[in-house]
Amino acid sequence: MPDENAPHADDAWKAQVEAEKRAAQSDEAPAEQPSAEKQQDRLPPPSLTMLVSGLYIQGMVGLGLVPNPLAEKGEPQKADLPHAQHTIDTLQMLYDKTQGNRTKEETEQLEHILHELRMAFVSVKQHLGPGQQ
């Protein structure tokens, strides 16, 4: 007689697990791969906020304040001031070119990010000293 307190798994789950085991043993790819359309649905809609956020991260990487995702493991973090300056200049150009076409929130975000990156740039530049820039 089965124990009523024992855990219970439904047959559909068991069948799925068995199918995954067979696929893994035969080195087959999973039967259903997400389509490009499904992957596109997961992305946020393009916006000025998303663009500015991406540039902000690039600036922080250039300043050496955020790890560079392209750096080799174990490679020390270092500042790339010309890259950081280029990113700040790009954000300033974006600020100038979109004048009158931004929402209040977009303007505040851009101004805040520009200020933060500029202050961090000055701080990193002073910290590095003249010979390390």
Q: How far apart are CA 33 and CA 118, in angstroms?
A: 44
Q: In the structure, what pLDDT confidence band is assigned to residue 122 with cuts at 50, 70 and 90?
A: very high
Q: Are residues 52 and 94 in contact, defined by beta-carbon separation less than 8 angstroms? A: yes
pLDDT digits (tens, 9 = 90+) for 24-43: 666 545 555 566 666 667 88
Alpha-carbon gap, residue 125 to 119, rounded angstroms: 10
**Residue 75 pLDDT:** 79
Q: Per-domain residue ranges for the chain? A: 78-133
How far apart CA 81 and CA 118 sit, in angstroms, is 11
